[in-house]
Structure 1
């Protein structure tokens, strides 16, 4: 006899949730790109990658690799793989990572910041490890 209620005792996989609506901002403002895990999940010990998926690597640079808008690894920000234009302008809410908040704050936004951002947790045991948040910067 198969008890259907047993299936509900399995832990729900945390999923990365972004924003369905574009986030709008004016040049010079600070903006928060919302992203979180549902249900709440502590990601303090995991790697969190924020990137711009539509940026193409520079074909003239043989060593070209994905560079990050923000990279959090080993419980700290890693800056040496960061896009130069975002240096010292991005931050995570590190005290909220234990609650699954992986939102990204970008300070002093510029028109060049417009575009799609991807938040990704490579080691998350889930089918939904990333989400896209679109930023629109305009007057």
Structure 2
């Protein structure tokens, strides 16, 4: 009896381990958007690159990419007003009609590198008016982290230098919750995983108890059957 009980509960344990691995793996291996941990510092007149990359590399040529300034808010007195984009990429091309006038013909993406997940933004001839935080966002990316924020500091006291850093994915920092802008559901993910895991444990425990009772009943029934057969086969004196 103890051997049967032990084996019946060993199976759910291994099943739980395998199912937990499947639950955790997509979270660990999902594509996330990352930016720069440090501000991009430039002097007026510089051409700069605001780094933004998908890790691991993922082709975003067919997705919408939005660059905006999150600190700019629409006019509350005008319900029809909207915050325009610094740069908008949609349907595999730039959409200049929806960008801010001050960035017209001054921004561009690295089109050839988008197939590798590079959505960094190049801004030409920066000025102090370009200071602030910039947000790169992929609205239809199936990920908990669809956006990242990069800060640009244009300081006239900084010597004029080139900010054209190599755009290889190894040059990007690892994702940091303080440097990414998560979706509204991100904070719920650990709770969902815990709830699903608990439900899975309870379900497996129920199945284990159910099958254990069935096996015990079958064992008792087989024992009774064997006993009856024994008496039937034994010749009477």
* CA distance in structure 1 between the partners assigned to 2:96 and 2:78 by the alignment: 20
Task: Note if 1:64 corresponds to 2:98.
Answer: no
The count of corresponding residues between Structure 1 and Structure 2 is 139
- Please tell me the root mean square deviation across aligned C-alpha atoms, in Å: 1.7
Which structure's CA Rg is the greater one?
2
From 115, 118, 129, the counterpart of 2:132 = 115
| SS of residue in 1 equivalent to 2:98 | coil
Q: Which moved more, 1:126-135 or 1:2-11?
A: 2-11
The structure where strand makes up a greater share of residues is 1
Per the normalisation by structure 1, the TM-score is: 0.93
Structure 1's unaligned 5+ residue stretches are none
TM-superposed deviation, 1:9: 5.9
Match status 1:98 vs 2:110: no
Question: Structure 2 length normalisation: TM-score?
Answer: 0.56
1:27, CA displacement in angstroms? 0.4
Per-residue deviation, 1:66 = 2.2
Aligned partner of 2:93 in structure 1 is 76
The structure whose RCO (Cα within 8 Å, separation 6+) is larger is 1
Alignment of 1:132 onto 2:149:
yes
The one of 56, 71, 75 aligned to 1:54: 71
Q: Deviations over 1:38-81 (max 9, x none)?
A: 00000000000000000122345442112100000000000111
In the alignment, structure 2 segments of 5+ residues that lack a partner are 1-13, 157-237
